A and B are shown apart, each in its own frame.
Chain A
Amino acid sequence: MSATDESLTASLFAYVWRPASRGYKQLLALGLAGTALLIASLTLLISTGIGVWGNNNTVGWGFDIINFVWWIGIGHAGTLISAILLMFQQQWRTSINRAAEAMTLFAVVCALMYPTVHTGRPWFDWWMLPYPSTLGIGPQFKSPLLWDVVAVTTYGTVSLLFWYVGLIPDLAALRDRSPSRTARIVYGVFALGWRGSGRHWSHWKLGYLLLAALSTPLVLSVHSVVSFDFAVSNLPGWHTTIFPPYFVAGAVFSGFAMVIVLLLPASRVLGLTHVITPKHFDAMNKIILATGLMVTYGYAMEHFMAWYSGSEAEATLFFRTRPTGPYAAAYWAMLFCNCVVPQVFWSARARNSPPVMFAVAVLVLIGMWLERFVIIVVSLHRDFLTSSWALYTPTWVDVSLFTGSLLFFFTNMLLFFKFVPAVAASEVKEQGHEAAGAKTVPFMPQVGIEAQP
């Protein structure tokens, strides 16, 4: 028995067995209230029709699609951390991948909700599936909207599989340490009977690596496909070839901001600061800075192309409607949040200050939401035909659906933090073992590492 592994296991799982604190219960109550709000708004929406939304005019896409794109983007950080950083052997990912992947799953669920109800008659959504229809007509696979269905479903499924395969050894550890019979049975069912066999590990290692390899192109493809929804049309503000990479960078940008918003408080409350260290936050902040610069480049390119194309419609949108139109405030706030604010991370002190990084992360999340607002609403509200110009104002149903989905997401995260180990214990232990011989261990848990004999 290894003392280091023993103390790591104890410290990583301790909070699972602790009874829920008063603060946790209060947060959960708030989350459940939000979930109730979500269900009530959805019920009203489905029973009445999507006329209860503010996009009941020529601005056909509003909060629904903004929130869809925003949530899908949030999910990207989880897959980037778990898959791409694994392929690049970035060891610091190990402490945060589990929580980030959970965030991905819940974000995808929130995202999928919006297009599902946006069809207007969700009880006919199965028409999007390829089945032998008596109408003799199948899905229209030349439409980016259908690519979206396939891309997001695949993304959600593969993320879930990847997360679960990584979770099995930890579920087995929880099963073996369960204080009650009920917990033992529940964790036992999900652990499938894992016994850490050397033969099983041999397949697990390769299978896990292959799932990471498959998820890597998925990160790049999902938001590219989402961006095709816009880029394939010919509307100024949407019709841009830079959209796929620019959307992916923006997705990672907002996703890391959400990871910080969630993990900064959670790591303290759950007592995980010895594995989720300031160095992890420092690394994430650097990624926010880098992707923020890519997003800024995207904005610059959009404006340059609008001028360079010589198209009057493009120039009007980018140089008149966006900066001075009715939604100019959203445009300027977006530029401030996404381009100016992250620049504080050039300073090492800012990257290591919890209040600063929390504030920046929140502003980035707001900024990225505004970016989707600017792309969608500002482009749609003044198209080529002046007679169809209109203003978009969200209704209370729009707002309560968004608030509800946010709180539903936080409810899921709270339940995750309560019942599932938030840090991949087996991976952290493996890394500790492998790094024990190395001279420098930059991202190792700060509990004592076994000395070499």
Chain B
Amino acid sequence: MTMHVVLGELDGPRELLATVKTLRGEHVRELDTHTPYPVHGLDEALGLPRSTIPWWAFFGGLAGAVTAYAMQLYFNWWEYPLNIANKPPHSPAVYVPVTFELMVLFSALTIVGALVVRFWGFPRPHHPVFEHEPFVQTASASGFWVSVSTRIADDAERAKARLEALGAKNVAVIREPEELL
């Protein structure tokens, strides 16, 4: 199967937002945008659910805190209790700093790990959009692009015509064998 990616460039964030809303209204699926910075309102326009990143952060932090506390109990209470300044082997107050720090560390590592691997699917240096030279020239700096992905060649042609009618520039269809994606 061949994947068809239709790309079109809009004049600015407002035009992009309007185009995305129009296309969504026409039930175009597999819609995405490519912008140099997050455009306010695009999440709603694309109909994206709220990111689940906060849950990843929460459970990562929880795992860190539990690990840290258990580790301190293991080393200083169970494995080799040392009498330090007559503090009891299990003294919750002195375990607080390490527990806090590892909670933050695990949470941050989980956030970034989840972002890169789970949500972005990175590292991934190749993608059909990079085959379109005008896209490469502007998408990361000043261009506001919309893309439609489809497996049906006719749909791709229709999307191309629709994007052109909506005022998009540099419209192109990129075809790539699906197994390469």
**Residues of A with Cβ closer than 8 Å to B?**
1-3, 5-6, 9, 130, 136-144, 146-147, 150-151, 153-154, 157-158, 161-162, 164-165, 169, 172-173, 175-177, 188-189, 192-207, 210-211, 214, 217-218, 221, 225, 228, 425-427, 429-430, 433-434, 450
Contact = CB atoms under 8 A, between A and B. Distances in A.
Size range of the chain B interface in the assembly: 35 or more
B116 interface: yes
Given A142-B76, A193-B127, A218-B104, A201 B35 contact: yes
B127 A210 contact: no
B124 A192 contact: yes
Given A138-B79, A192-B123, A207 B48 contact: no
- Among A139, A161, A195: residue with most chain B CB under 10 A: A195
A202 B48 CA distance: 8
Closest CB pairs A-B (n = 9): A138-B75, A5-B142, A430-B37, A198-B33, A193-B124, A192-B122, A9-B141, A173-B140, A6-B142
Contacts of A196: 33-36, 139-140, 145
B95 A141 contact: yes
A192 to B, nearest CB: 4
Contacts of B37: 169, 201, 426-427, 429-430, 433
A155 to B, nearest CB: 8
A142 B84 contact: yes
12 contacts: A1-B143, A9-B36, A138-B74, A141-B75, A173-B36, A198-B32, A201-B35, A201-B42, A206-B53, A206-B54, A228-B97, A450-B12
Contacts of B32: 197-199
B140 A172 contact: yes
B85 A142 contact: yes
A206 B51 contact: yes
A195 B129 contact: yes
A151 B53 CA distance: 24
A200 B147 CA distance: 14
A198 B34 contact: yes
Contact of A138 (B11, B80, B94): B80
